[in-house]
């Protein structure tokens, strides 16, 4: 039975001793994984070879939590209580990140990622109790940082028919460019496989409807942001990405159409976003580029 917290309970205060907890994971930036990501994005896999610099945001397919089968929870995620605190709310999802890129990853690099819990806070939302967890990830190669990411994860109550949904925001209408993607199950499956994401909302429609209250399988939010960044970089004229901040606004669902768009690609700061087929805003991303 899912654990439900009441609005009167200060859950965040119960887990303050988890602040500063850290974990370190080693990984290798392998050629097969990079070529699979390229194929998923309909790029030429053979354009990458040993020593190639990988696009900066592709780091997300490495350093996966390799939980054993016996350590997986009913939702397909690794059980809480190892590195992530066992916050007693049934729904857990990624909501945003801020990233800087002081270096780059190359195919063949042996890298290390250190993750540290740096924040736990609580709010009361329309859907009930929300607990936000901030985790800082630092990826190093040969002892030098190449990527620093602060990621935000939210834990929330199960859906209730008594809660009212917020009025959706419209995607900006001043796009200088746009691209469309069909959110088909094969695309979502391949991304989940690459990132070793077993969360059942992405492939088990019955679970998504019955247990989490969604109308169907959920588009992977990290994939939505990946496509936004991919399209913005394709129009940046080869300029180096120095950093970005991104946030998910609302879930999208497999079977729909994703529209990725953005402002002028020629400025030092580029705003980009994603929306659904009704023009509702789903994600935002601000990218900072180094001077040409």
pLDDT tens for each residue of 197-252: 999 999 999 999 998 889 999 999 999 999 999 999 999 999 999 999 999 999 99
- Residue 68 in tokens: 């054993």
CA-closest candidate to residue 121, choices 149, 99, 95: 95
Cα(236)–Cα(233) distance, integer angstroms: 5
Ramachandran bin of 18, using left for φ above 0, alpha for ψ from -120 to 50, beta for the remaining angles:
alpha
CA distances from 252 to 125, 197, 226, 281, 288 (A): 20, 17, 14, 10, 26
Output the pTM of the full model. 0.90
Q: 94 pLDDT band (50/70/90 cuts)?
A: confident
CA-closest candidate to residue 250, choices 276, 229, 268: 276
Question: Contact at 8 Å (CB) between 229 and 201?
Answer: no
Across residues 266-282, what is the average pLDDT? 95
Domains along the sequence of the chain with CATH? 1-166 (3.10.129.10), 167-292 (3.10.129.10)
Bridge partners, residue 145, by sequence: 140
How many other C-beta atoms lie within 10 A of the C-beta of residue 206?
A: 10
- Residue 7 in tokens: 């609005």
Across residues 45-55, what is the average pLDDT? 98
Angle at 224 between CA 232 and CA 237, to 5 degrees: 10
pLDDT at 111: 98
Cα(30)–Cα(61) distance, integer angstroms: 11
Bridge partners, residue 47, by sequence: none
pLDDT at 288: 97
- pLDDT mean across residues, the chain: 91
Across residues 82-92, what is the average pLDDT? 86
pLDDT at 5: 41
pLDDT at 264: 94
CA-closest candidate to residue 212, choices 156, 165, 169: 156
Cα(220)–Cα(90) distance, integer angstroms: 18
Q: 8 pLDDT band (50/70/90 cuts)?
A: low
Q: 2 pLDDT band (50/70/90 cuts)?
A: very low
Across residues 56-61, what is the average pLDDT? 95
Question: What are the phi and psi torsion angles at 23 (to 5°)?
Answer: -145, 145
Q: 159 pLDDT band (50/70/90 cuts)?
A: low
Pairing of strands 144-156, 91-100: antiparallel
* Span 169-199, pLDDT tens digits: 999 988 999 999 999 999 999 999 999 999 9
3-class SS of residue 226: helix
Q: Which helix (H) or strand (E) holds 38?
A: helix 31-40
């Amino acid at each position: 039975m899912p654990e439900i917290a009441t609005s009167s309970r200060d859950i965040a205060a119960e887990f303050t001793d988890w602040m500063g907890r850290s974990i370190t994971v080693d990984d290798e930036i392998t050629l097969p994984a990079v070529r699979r990501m390229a194929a998923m994005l309909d790029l030429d896999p053979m354009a990458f070879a040993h020593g190639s610099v990988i696009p900066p945001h592709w780091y997300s397919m490495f350093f996966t939590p390799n939980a054993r089968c016996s350590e997986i929870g009913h939702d397909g995620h690794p059980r809480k209580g190892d590195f992530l605190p066992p916050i007693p709310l049934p729904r857990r999802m990624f909501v945003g990140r801020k990233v800087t890129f002081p270096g780059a990853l190359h195919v063949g690099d042996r890298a290390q990622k250190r993750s540290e819990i740096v924040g736990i806070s609580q709010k009361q939302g329309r859907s009930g109790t929300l607990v936000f967890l901030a985790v800082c990830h630092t990826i190093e190669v040969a002892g030098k940082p190449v990527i620093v990411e602060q990621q935000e994860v939210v834990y929330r109550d199960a859906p209730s028919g008594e809660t009212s949904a917020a009025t959706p925001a419209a995607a900006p209408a001043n796009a200088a460019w746009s691209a469309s993607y069909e959110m088909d199950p094969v695309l979502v499956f391949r991304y989940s496989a690459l990132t070793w994401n077993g969360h059942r909302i992405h492939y088990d429609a019955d679970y998504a409807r019955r247990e989490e209250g969604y109308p169907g399988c959920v588009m992977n939010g990290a994939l939505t942001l990946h496509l936004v960044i991919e399209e913005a970089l394709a129009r940046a004229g080869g300029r180096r990405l120095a950093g970005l901040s991104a946030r998910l606004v609302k879930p999208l669902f497999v079977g729909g159409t994703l529209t990725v768009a953005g402002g002028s690609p020629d400025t030092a700061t580029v705003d980009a976003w994603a929306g659904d087929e009704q023009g509702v805003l789903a994600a935002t991303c601000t990218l900072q580029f180094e001077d040409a």
